[in-house]
Amino acid sequence: MKIAVIISRLLLGVLFLVFGLNGFLHFIHMASPTGIAGQYLGVLFVSHYLVAVFSVQLIAGVLLLANRFVALALILLGPVIVNILLFHSLMAPEGLPLALFATLLWVIVFCGAYRAFAGIFAAQV
């Protein structure tokens, strides 16, 4: 299990490092989505909201690759992954396999760092 957690952490770190950097450097050229998905991304782009999202992805990716503050990286990536899953589930289903893969990696890394989150699963303080 420990090897699976390490591999998952590294893959998740690379995934979010690459896509976080791509948000700033645009080295992976992707076609713009059409319809409501395109409108949604257009609003996020114009409002500069994506700068914050790409920054969070970049920081979390670096933390995962450095094996430092892994619990913090998981906390940062949790909402990002939920939004990615919802976006691809509801508006752009062609990206859903990668979103599910990222979610699976996140769950595996979370299981490996479960002790860091033990306090939030306690019924009483």
Work out how many domains the chain is built from and give that number.
1
Give the number of other Cβ atoms within 10 Å of residue 65's Cβ.
16
Structure confidence at residue 121 (pLDDT): 84
Residue 18 pLDDT: 98
Asked whether residue 104 is domain-assigned, the answer is yes
Beta carbons of 61 and 15 less than 8 angstroms apart: yes
Q: What is the pLDDT of residue 23?
A: 95
Question: What is the predicted pLDDT for the residue at 1?
Answer: 85
Q: Tell me which amino acid residue 123 is.
A: A
Q: Which residues of 23-50 are buried (b: 16+ CB within 10 A; e: fewer)?
A: beeeeeeeeebeeebeeebeebeeeeeb
The span from the CA of 68 to the CA of 52, in Å, is: 21
Does 90 map to a domain?
Answer: yes
Note down the domain range covering 17: 2-28+47-115
Q: Which residues of the chain have pLDDT under 70?
A: 125
33 belongs to a structural domain = no
d(CA 43, CA 77): 22
- Residue 61: the pLDDT is 98
Judge whether 35 lies within some domain: no
The pLDDT, as a whole number, for residue 122 is 85
